[in-house]
Amino acid sequence: MADMDRIMEIARRHDLFVVEDCAHAHGQRWRDQGAGCIGDFGSFSHQSTKILTAGEGGTLTTQDEALARRAHSLIDCGRPKDAAETEYTFGANYRLGELACALLVNGLHRFPAQQELRSRPCPVCGQPIASHAFEETNGNVIMECPTDERLPEPLANGPLNEFGMPATGRRLEKYEERQAREEAEREAREEAEAERA
């Protein structure tokens, strides 16, 4: 994350509001605070490339009730949040659809476990898995470690992907598969050495 101590100090000095761009920062922390909780607003993206996605949409966070009401009015055609409210503004329809909201609610339940997974160390280089290309399906982690010097599968003889196209040559391997393969390679080496001796 950005140096939020420094940003908040500059903002306070110049009497500025801070909107944290947390588009990709779901679950990140600065010292003891979560991303999006430090500035006046935090803005998270849920567009399709983000780690908590609903295809499109976003979440705005704030701890200031007046700002929350103003933001609510902005996304809802300028209407007040509560009918009795007299403070409202011009706005547009930036409301997130209910289907996207349902996806996000579900995604939020899965998010803590996914976050824990991302922070686990890579068994090859020890860096957090989040720094690698990885996919997770039903608890299986398929990943690529950039420090792994073994060559990718040759393109010409490589497998076809699910669209029947030649795979890119980027080798993604399940943890368990990698461990089993390394174990088999080690055993084969030991057997060959024993035969030579």
Per CB under 6 A, 61 contacts ligand PLP: no
Binding residue for ligand PLP, selected from 8, 11, 23, 67, defined by CB under 6 A: 23
Q: Which residue has the tokens 């957090």?
A: 128
Binding residue for ligand PLP, selected from 11, 21, 118, 173, defined by CB under 6 A: 21
**HEC states along the chain?**
CCCHHHHHHHHHHCCCCCEEECCCCCCCEECCEECCCCCCEEEEECECCCCCCCECCEEEECCCHHHHHHHHHHHECCCCCCCCCCCCCCCCECCCCHHHHHHHHHHHHHHHHHHHHHHCECCCCCCEHHHCEEEEECCEEEEECCCCCCCCCCCCCCCECCCCCECCCCCCEEHHHHHHHHHHHHHHHHHHHHHHC
Per CB under 6 A, 42 contacts ligand PLP: no
Phi–psi pair at 171, nearest 5 degrees = -95, 115
- Least distance in Å: CB of 105 to ligand PLP? 18
- Least distance in Å: CB of 42 to ligand PLP? 12
Per CB under 6 A, 24 contacts ligand PLP: yes
Per CB under 6 A, 58 contacts ligand PLP: yes
| Interface segment toward ligand PLP; rule CB under 6 A; list 6-14, 18-26, 74-82, 152-160 | 18-26
Phi–psi pair at 167, nearest 5 degrees = -65, 160
- Least distance in Å: CB of 43 to ligand PLP? 7
Per CB under 6 A, 45 contacts ligand PLP: yes
- Least distance in Å: CB of 57 to ligand PLP? 7
| Interface segment toward ligand PLP; rule CB under 6 A; list 20-28, 61-69, 98-106, 144-152 | 20-28
Per CB under 6 A, 81 contacts ligand PLP: no
Q: Which of residues 167-186 bind ligand PLP (CB under 6 A)?
A: none
- Least distance in Å: CB of 172 to ligand PLP? 23
**Distance between CA 177 and CA 182 in Å, rounded?**
8
The site for ligand PLP (CB under 6 A) is made up of: 21, 23-24, 45, 47, 58
